[in-house]
Amino acid sequence: MACYFLCCGRAVPRRAALHKPRAGAAGCHLQTHPPNKRIASTFLHALAKEMDRSSLRPPLRPLVGVTACLKENGRGGWHHTVGDKYVRAAIQAVAALPVLIPAVGPEFGEDAAAMTEALDRLLDSLDGVLLTGSPSNVEPYHYGGEQSRQGTAHDPARDATTLPLIRHALDRGVPLFAICRGLQEVNVALGGTLHQLVHEVEGRRDHRSPKSSDIDVNYGPAHDIEIVEGGLLHRLLGERRVQVNSLHAQGVDRLAPRARLEAVAEDGQVEAFSVPDAPGFALALQWHPEHRALENPVSKKLFDAFAAACRSRAASRLVPPMRAAAE
């Protein structure tokens, strides 16, 4: 990138201006002398060329962390896994570059300082975090719940990663978009609790998915949600009632103190909340907008909002050299 300083009335390349201060001058700096036409046109011509070049470049893809699960591979080994639909949504609906976040929490054990340092290092490099769904449940001890029913799938490594990650990302204003298990993790991370089997709760319907071999059946419309008037979701969608899919057995019991209710199902089950005191975008959904995201107008609006927040962070995080030189 061509970068010039108008130094002592002359346009000099940035490297010269920064490294060869004039005798008697307290280092080279931008002069306020009105430069002569030739110097100004040289500088502006270089700037225009650079701007033309930058306008030809594809828009910057924000880096979005996508949380992974730790699953046995059936041969005595373990894999860090993410559903392809989350990766595709990050690429296609957020126009981002997905970066998988492995379930590394246990590596840091009880060393909170080391975990914080690792999370800072990670979040310094990310423009957003997408908290994915998973068939596994958050372990009940994280929210004072009763022991899970026999045979319930858990993922302690993922819990040990996402719960501190969520708190750190929210505090640092890193845009956060949580889906299904991701919503449950945010609620638990912020001090809320979960129903472990919503369909066994008095007055609640069964929120589990059909057991079809057709993904479009399992992720198809399942019920309406009522959107809280004046909230973030209402502002983003402009509607008070939409249809969503439903693939969960757990659900919010007590909403975390920092969470703001955004939508409920017809049976009163929490379907979305935001975190208004977080400096950045923070929205958690119990349903799955990532399935055929661009074909669903509701999903597209939500991913558009998350994408805008990620782009804004990327722009502020990656200061162009020109602006850095001028500062």
Ligand X SMILES: N[C@@H](CCC(=O)NCCCC(=O)O)C(=O)O
Active-site residue among 69, 180, 185, 291?
Answer: 180
CB nearer to ligand X: give 35 or 135: 135
Beta-carbon contacts of residue 11 (< 8 Å; ≥ 6 apart): 4, 5, 35, 39, 40, 42, 43
What are the distances in angstroms from CA 298 to CA 129, 180, 195, 216, 322? 20, 16, 27, 16, 39
Whether 290 sits among the annotated catalytic residues: the reply is yes
Least distance (Å) between residue 175 CB and ligand X? 20
Residue showing the smallest CB distance to ligand X in the complex: 133
Residue 209 and residue 218 in contact, taking contact as beta carbons nearer than 8 Å:
yes
* Residue choice 64, 90, 163, 180 for contact with ligand X (CB under 6 A): 180
Rounded CA separation 153/53 (Å): 52
Residue 42 makes contact with ligand X by CB under 6 A: no
Angle 156-172/112-124 helices, nearest 10 degrees? 60
Active-site residue among 168, 195, 207, 288?
Answer: 288
Rounded CA separation 136/134 (Å): 5
Residue 134 makes contact with ligand X by CB under 6 A: yes
CB nearer to ligand X: give 2 or 100: 100
Only one residue has tokens 């990532």, namely 290
Binding mask 286-305 for ligand X (x = CB under 6 A): --x-----------------
Rounded CA separation 47/3 (Å): 8
Rounded CA separation 131/82 (Å): 10
Whether 199 sits among the annotated catalytic residues: the reply is no
* Residue choice 62, 65, 98, 133 for contact with ligand X (CB under 6 A): 133
Residue 71 makes contact with ligand X by CB under 6 A: no
Strand-strand pairing, 223-227 and 176-179: unpaired
Least distance (Å) between residue 248 CB and ligand X? 3
Tokens encoding 60: 């910057």
* Residue choice 137, 246, 269, 296 for contact with ligand X (CB under 6 A): 137
CB nearer to ligand X: give 3 or 179: 179
Active-site residue among 3, 168, 290, 291?
Answer: 290
Residue 269 makes contact with ligand X by CB under 6 A: no
Going by the DSSP 8-state scheme, the letter that residue 192 receives in this structure is -
Least distance (Å) between residue 218 CB and ligand X? 8
Least distance (Å) between residue 279 CB and ligand X? 27
Active-site residue set: 180, 288, 290
Q: Which positions lie near ligand X, rule CB under 6 A?
A: 83, 132-137, 180-181, 247-250, 288
